Structure 1
């Protein structure tokens, strides 16, 4: 598995990317600008993504859980007994699953764009964005640069299709890890962009309600990729949360 490591701080910080994401596509401003004296920042390409290939990702119904195990093993191999997690979108889900399964290992947790369940309405959103020909060049080109157009298209179709498969035979929501949230003990910051077209606000509210003692921050101008569009503001919020006593925020 491929990873990048920058900084000299005692506080280890793992960045977990979104669907098909990698250090190259998802966390450039964080790897470049987060405080390298306070943190050691580790960017990671999950198995089958980015430079952690070949082989390409094979999506199964438990792929988020498998990624969480890989992330935990990576940090163990790097020598971290305790560390913090920053997870975006699918990476938020992976980070939450890891935090629930190994609560003794996670110091603090920051998630945005995540969802512990999927509604039928959200599945329709996924289906609408399945055709990458309809994506904006700004969203599509970074993925093509990493995978090539053919591989990117296939992987994205596979990602959408695994959620379609999860809904087969079901009339309601699909539970990804709802019952695991109560096991999270890490101090948790949830950030939500009010203009997020992929993840409705009720998902952030559900995380906030079910992760004990968590803090929810909403940005009126934020979209799904708020950490990229408003990188400086996001980084400042994260550094404050990670560096200070949670009870004083």
Structure 2
């Protein structure tokens, strides 16, 4: 539920000296409002298709992709949808499926006033105002519905990926247990995984320098 500017400020600046950087707020988030965010069953696929549409509109026929959290799922789907365009893929904070444990984690964070940190509220409240709680509750509901429908986010698509893939993970990520990125490492041919010791969910912010170096080095291979 963050925005390109709040979540990726270090990358918009830190990667742009070597690459042209395109970042956008998915529909219903950040500056891509109104309308408010909705969570249909296929919203990850919808976000991937929107990203492809943005790149098409910009005339970009080949590009590297970096995705975080929900955006990482959509990034993997984008690489599946556009294998001719996505040259290299970097994902972090990613899940291919949702477990009952994951659902319970989200439920424990449902009330933004009591469960979110002051920093998270300070980041999101100015963007969404009174819409923050309803939007987040809708997301929690969507996670439960996907779990009840089988729990798959992108397993089939990820197993078919052939682009070079780097999986980054914060060792102490409270939202994404290690078995999630390990699944991608084990199921995407030729992929590799790098763990940030002590890192949590926002490694691109807390370890910006190391994160950017890892991404730039991977792109340069």
TM-score, normalization: structure 1? 0.86
Q: Which has the higher contact order (CA 8 A, sep 6+)?
A: 2
SS at match of 1:121: helix
For 1:33 and 1:97, locate their aligned partners in 2 and report how far apart those are by CA, in whole Å. Answer: 25
Offset, 1:219: 1.5
Offset, 1:25: 1.9
Equivalence for 1:7: none
Alignment partner of 1:236 is 2:207: no
SS at match of 2:23: strand
Structure 2 unmatched ranges of 5 or more: none
RMSD: 1.1
Are the equivalent residues in 2 in contact too, given 1:103–1:183 (CA < 8 A)?
Answer: no
Offset, 1:140: 1.4
Alignment partner of 1:110 is 2:90: yes
Alignment partner of 1:44 is 2:24: yes
Structure 1 unmatched ranges of 5 or more: 1-19
Equivalence for 1:98: 78
For 2:6 and 2:103, locate their aligned partners in 1 and report how far apart those are by CA, in whole Å. Answer: 24
Are the equivalent residues in 1 in contact too, given 2:99–2:147 (CA < 8 A)?
Answer: no
Aligned residues: 220
Q: How does 1:1-249 map to 2 (within 5 A)?
A: 20-36=1-17, 38-133=18-113, 134-148=115-129, 150-168=130-148, 174-243=151-220, 245=221
Offset, 1:23: 1.2
For 2:128 and 2:161, locate their aligned partners in 1 and report how far apart those are by CA, in whole Å. Answer: 34
For 1:29 and 1:220, locate their aligned partners in 2 and report how far apart those are by CA, in whole Å. Answer: 19
Between Structure 1 and Structure 2, the one with more helix by share is 2
Are the equivalent residues in 1 in contact too, given 2:88–2:165 (CA < 8 A)?
Answer: yes
For 2:16 and 2:60, locate their aligned partners in 1 and report how far apart those are by CA, in whole Å. Answer: 19
For 1:209 and 1:129, locate their aligned partners in 2 and report how far apart those are by CA, in whole Å. Answer: 30
Question: Cα–Cα, structure 1 residues 156 and 212, in superposed 2: closer, same or farther, change >3 Å?
Answer: same
SS at match of 2:22: strand
TM-score, normalization: structure 2? 0.96
For 1:167 and 1:175, locate their aligned partners in 2 and report how far apart those are by CA, in whole Å. Answer: 7
Between Structure 1 and Structure 2, the one with more strand by share is 1
Offset, 1:102: 1.3
